[in-house]
Amino acid sequence: MQQISSPQKQLRQRLILGGQPCNTGIYTMSWPFDIDGCLQHLIASDPALGRLVRRIGPVTLTPRTDEPPLDALVRNIVYQQLSGKAASTIHARLLALTGHPLQPQRILDTHPDALRSAGLSRAKTTAIIDLAVHAAEGHIPDAADMSAMDNASIEACLTRVKGIGPWTVQMYLMFCLGRPDVFPASDLGIRKGMARLYGLDELPSPADATDASIPWKPYRTIASWYLWRSLDITADALPAAGT
């Protein structure tokens, strides 16, 4: 089977497992929906997924529902393609330069060479500056406004920024806004988890994965979390497919 791509794997592992704590520790962390009802639905809707839910146990992740989007998106950019420890060090250096919580003008007032001295690549520096420009011009809504927007509108807004694509937006929707029904079908970890769940010899295509996820609606965010967590369990410890 294909390996999970590095940018997705590193960031996703940090998000799923809790990752680096937020520097200030001030952000609310709760699912904005009934998590118990969600688990009951997933168990009832798909026997295979239900066995996985019982094997892994309760959801141990909660989203940062009021973290400023600028902070969350900058952190996600920093963590792309890096180990958690290296990314945490670079992120801390960046915040030492720009202050925290992040303000777009303070980022823009910091010379690009100074940003790069924190350990950022040229591409990440460009992405963070472009994000700050969009934020300074009022094109990045705050957390309260984001919470009132639908998923498609958020994606249309954020993907105007260099370095932010649909997958990054999906991670933001899932792990910051706590949207219940986000399904990143192109994520290789999702497809690998689904192949293990159903005992498939090949990875499902994104389209097939989406079709298979329909019974999990409207809680595919949580189903995705279980698929990702299943990759941390050895094959012999997983529930047998079809049993």
State yes or no: pLDDT of 39 exceeds 60: yes
pLDDT digits 0-9 by tens, 21-34 = 333 333 444 688 89
* CATH number for the domain running over 33-63+182-237: 1.10.1670.40
Residues in the chain: 243
The pLDDT value given to residue 7: 45
pTM of the model: 0.78
Structure tokens given for 198: 């159903």
Residues 69-175, CATH architecture: Orthogonal Bundle (1.10)
State yes or no: pLDDT of 19 exceeds 50: no
Sign of CA dihedral 189, 190, 191, 194: positive
The pLDDT value given to residue 95: 96
* Mean pLDDT confidence for 201-222: 97
Average pLDDT, the chain: 86
- 101 torsion bin: left (phi>0), alpha (psi -120 to 50), beta (else): beta
* Mean pLDDT confidence for 127-155: 95
* Mean pLDDT confidence for 160-173: 90
**Do 229 and 16 touch, CB atoms closer than 8 A?**
yes
Q: Taking the domains of the chain in order of start, what are their residue ranges?
A: 33-63+182-237, 69-175
pLDDT digits 0-9 by tens, 220-230 = 999 999 999 99
At residue 233, the 3 state secondary structure works out as coil
Structure tokens given for 175: 């792990």
**Do 229 and 56 touch, CB atoms closer than 8 A?**
yes
